[in-house]
Structure formats: C-alpha cells, structure tokens
Homo-oligomer: A and B are copies of this chain.
Amino acid sequence: MNTHIDLNPLVGILMGSDSDWEVMKEAGKVLREFDIPFEMTVTSAHRTPERTHAYATSAAERGVRVLIVGAGAAAHLAGVVAAISDLPVIGVPLAATELQGMDALLSTVQMPGGIPVATMAIGKAGAKNGALFAVRILALQEDAIRKKMILYKAKMANEVDAKHAALQTRVQDL
C-alpha cells in the first residue's frame, strides 16, 4: 500500500463520477511514477455544487499547485473549478455518452476569454497527458522533477525503438 497519499498533495485529481476512475487512474499512475503526491476526489459540478465549490476554494491553501479535472457529457467541472480557483486547471474530456466525448471536448476546451482550462485529449491519453503536463509545470520549480521527466522521455523513446525492432520479424513473415 502506498501511504504518502494526501500528505501534502501537490496535484489534485477531480472527477465527476466514480465511473470515470478507469480513465482518470492513468493520471494517478503517471504521478506515482514521478513520486509526486496527489489526491483524488469525486465531486460533481451539478450534483454536488457546494462540495465542488469548497474544494476549489481550499485547494491552493492546502498546498495543491495543479488541478487535473476529468468530466464527461456536458463537462462543466473543469470550467467551474477554474472559475473559482486561481490554480492552473487541466481538463480531461471523457467519452461518457453516445457522442464519444465530442460533447465533453467542446464543453471543456471552448472556454470563453478570461477563465482558461488547459484541455487534453479525450480519454486515457488525455488523463495520462494531464499528469505529464502537471509534471512539466512542477518541473519549472523543482529540478528533481525535471530530471525525472528527461528520463521518462528517454524511456518512451527506447520503447519505440524496441517496438520497431520487434516489428521486423513480423515484417519478414508478411
């Protein structure tokens, strides 16, 4: 069991419903890899507006520095949080309806001038990249994180190389 959770989290991950867990845990896994403490919170812009308001107003003073917010359908959560909090808010649109996330994407990214939400790709790639973008922000202040990020990118590149090598056999057999 990992016990450093909630002890001075630097990143807050929010999601509108626990059905978003399978996607949003990708963000948590990346932060684990970087040893960045985080917390995960279920709160809905529509069903628990007070809870959302309370979270957004208190996050910064508890030391949270970046928020990653996943929501589907008419995804208002990221925008609502960004309206209240002054922290950088990263939005992850989720494919929760028949429209395959196009609704959540437009609801998240098309924020009017004044209140920005940094929008990532729909679904798991977006959750993962939301965490990696938080890493880039935190790396501005902490050199140790920056160094881990360089290693992370190198590992990704090596994996591509390995996949290329492994593919050659299949090509021969085509």
Contacts and interface: CB of A to CB of B under 8 A. Distances in A.
Interface of A: 1-3, 5, 16-18, 21, 25-26, 28-29, 32, 39-51, 53, 65, 72-74, 76, 79-80, 82-84, 86-90, 95-125, 128-130, 132-133, 136-137, 139-141, 146, 149-150, 153, 156-157, 159-161, 163-164, 166-168, 170-174
B46 A150 contact: no
A123 B109 contact: no
A116 B103 contact: no
Contacts of A146: 86
B107 A110 contact: yes
Contacts of A84: 49
A116 B129 contact: yes
A112 B72 contact: yes
